[in-house]
Amino acid sequence: MNKRSATESKSKIINAAIKVFSENGYKGTSMRMIASTASISVGGLYLYFANKEDLYLTLIKEAYDELTRKVTNARNEAGSSSEALSLFISHYINTARKNRELILIQGREHKFAFGMDIKRKFFRDQKNIIEGIIQQGITSGEFSGCNVKETSKIIFCVLRGFILSLIVEPDALFSPEECSNLILNGLLKGKQK
């Protein structure tokens, strides 16, 4: 099997797995169902993934890696720190919406404990990206001075709250633009003298 064919097969399996997990949940999904949806043999599926858990963890990791690539590219291409932070927020919220079904499965069936090592690394990486954007904004004079670590934690917790709202209270979801506006401009008018 050549490298292109292997990449295409793996991509086909991942797309099928997302569909089957979304429709049936983690517990209701079998490797046979995924293989059937991907139009490959069960044995062919096991060439790429050791078991259902391995495949599911790969889905989580790939979603996180895709988001990290997007926000890193956005940070590098942004003309300002405020634009970089707005793009970060937008990518984060839109990726959560795109992966809503996988997030719902995580919340309902695993109580978010599944793949905790992958998640911890992802959360650390995301906070580091936010810290970098804030520090760059302070250094350039665009942002006022603040505790960079605490501010990045607050922003990241707001975004994680969006994820929780996908499961618990879908009516509480907010737009990336309003979130960026509030974080960048706050509620207070200019300082009174």
Q: What is the pLDDT of residues 160-190, one digit of tens each?
A: 888 888 777 777 788 889 989 899 988 666 6
**pTM score, two decimals?**
0.81
Same domain (yes/no): 45, 76: no
| Residue labelled with tokens 């709202």 | 165
d(C-alpha 25, C-alpha 109), whole Å: 8
CATH number of residue 113's parent domain: 1.10.357.10
Tokens of 192: 């009174």
Q: What is the DSSP string of the chain?
A: --HHHHHHHHHHHHHHHHHHHHHHTTTT--HHHHHHHHTS-HHHHHHH-SSHHHHHHHHHHHHHHHHHHHHHHHHHH-SSHHHHHHHHHHHHHHHHHHTHHHHHHIIIIITT-TTHHHHHHHHHHHHHHHHHHHHHHHHHTSS----HHHHHHHHHHHHHHHHHHHHH-GGG---HHHHHHHHHH-S--SPP-
Same domain (yes/no): 43, 66: no
| Residue labelled with tokens 């954007």 | 133
**Model confidence at 193: pLDDT above 50:** no
Same domain (yes/no): 41, 74: no
Same domain (yes/no): 44, 98: no
Tokens of 62: 């790939």
- In tens, the pLDDT along 121-155 reads 988 999 999 999 999 999 999 999 899 999 999 99
Same domain (yes/no): 90, 114: yes
- Dihedral sign for Cα atoms in the order 111, 15, 100, 124: positive
Mean pLDDT of the chain: 87
Same domain (yes/no): 165, 101: yes
- Structural domain includes residue 191: no
> By residue range, what is the domain housing residue 26?
1-49
Of 12-21, 102-111, 125-134, which range is least confident? 102-111
d(C-alpha 182, C-alpha 176), whole Å: 10
